[in-house]
A = this chain, B = another copy of it.
Amino acid sequence: MTMFYPNGKPYLKGKPKQGIGLNRQKSVTYGNRGMTLEEDINISNQYYLTNDIAVIHKKPTPVQIVNVDYPKRSAAKITEAYFKKASTTDYNGLYKGKYIDFEAKETRHRSSLPLKNFHGHQVAHMKNVQKHSGICFIIVKFSSDGDIFLLDAGILVEYWDLQHQGGRKSIPKAEVVRRGHSIPSGYLPRIDYLKVLNDVYL
């Protein structure tokens, strides 16, 4: 089972432990995603749900539970557990009768999205979703300038496979701009990625 190492997540290194519990979102940022992007997507999904537009949810963070205590008359307390790598993507659901599946990534790199933001089994999952006629994509945010794009999973798969044949280890932002679709961020919903889906897939 894959354990999760925080070392690769500089934006969290300095975070005080007690900070983690303050907010449910925080506990999930270990998944190597940008807080803001994830929060905005969750709020957008809530908007879609309450307005009967789509049913899309974020999956819980996968955790390997090792030990649990049962204090009398209070909640079962997990006293030892570890983060696991996700075997699928973070978000999936239903829109206009279609299966929707995507991963959201925020990067501080100005000019590219490093492929190390993804795991092999996530990419394999995306391949499977597309093979079975699901709509699969990634939402990328370049935090340097705040640009957000929807990129078809097929393009990620393309770069992922090429890197093992000596290809580059990241997707150039220019490529994301050229082959992806800009998602304007607004107020309600904050990140209207379904609008882009309408233009691109439906």
Contact = CB atoms under 8 A, between A and B. Distances in A.
Contact of A4 (B18, B67, B76): B76
Interface string A57-101: 101111111111110000111111111100110001111111101
A71 to B, nearest CB: 10
Interface stretch (A103-111, A129-137, A186-194): A129-137
Contact of A75 (B24, B67, B77, B83): B83
A160 interface: no
A62 B60 contact: yes
Contacts of A84: 60
Nearest to A79: B79
Contacts of A132: 54-55, 94-97
Interface of A is mostly: mixed
B83 A76 contact: yes
Given A57-B87, A129-B55, A63 B63 contact: yes
Across chains A and B, which 6 residue pairs bring their CB atoms closest together, nearest first? A3-B75, A27-B65, A97-B133, A21-B66, A78-B81, A60-B62
A26 to B, nearest CB: 8
Given A20-B68, A93-B99, A94-B132, 15 more contacts: A1-B24, A4-B75, A4-B76, A21-B80, A55-B125, A55-B134, A59-B59, A59-B60, A61-B65, A75-B82, A75-B83, A81-B81, A95-B132, A97-B134, A99-B99
Contact of A77 (B1, B55, B82, B129): B82
